[in-house]
Amino acid sequence: MQAIHPAQLDDWLQHASAQKPGALPVVLDVREPWELQTASVRPDGFELVAMPMRSVPARYLELERDRPIACLCHHGARSAQVAHFLIQNGFTAVVNVHGGIDAWSQQRDPGVPTY
């Protein structure tokens, strides 16, 4: 499974858009609702989809299998598990955001609170 740092997201978005023209990449935030209320990212060049990790097995078919997806959580562990699950279930363009929203705050947007 491929992992990217938040600082590499723009390059990944560009690559993903070139690989799948016309398909807006997805950042799949797998954190719990209280975490989303505490800190969230602003969609810029991607669609933000919130799907708590525990709901992924029941809801993953809501996602398109060939659409580029970057999984995000707090530090990267839960999102890595979800990325692995999606790949095992036939998703073809999945990466994990290493360091999660904590690294996002440090590398991309200091306006995103840390917790």
> Residues with catalytic annotation?
73
- CA–CA distance, 114 with 108 (Å, rounded to integer): 13
Pairing status of strand 94-97 against strand 47-50: unpaired
Residue type, 50: A
- CA–CA distance, 71 with 48 (Å, rounded to integer): 10
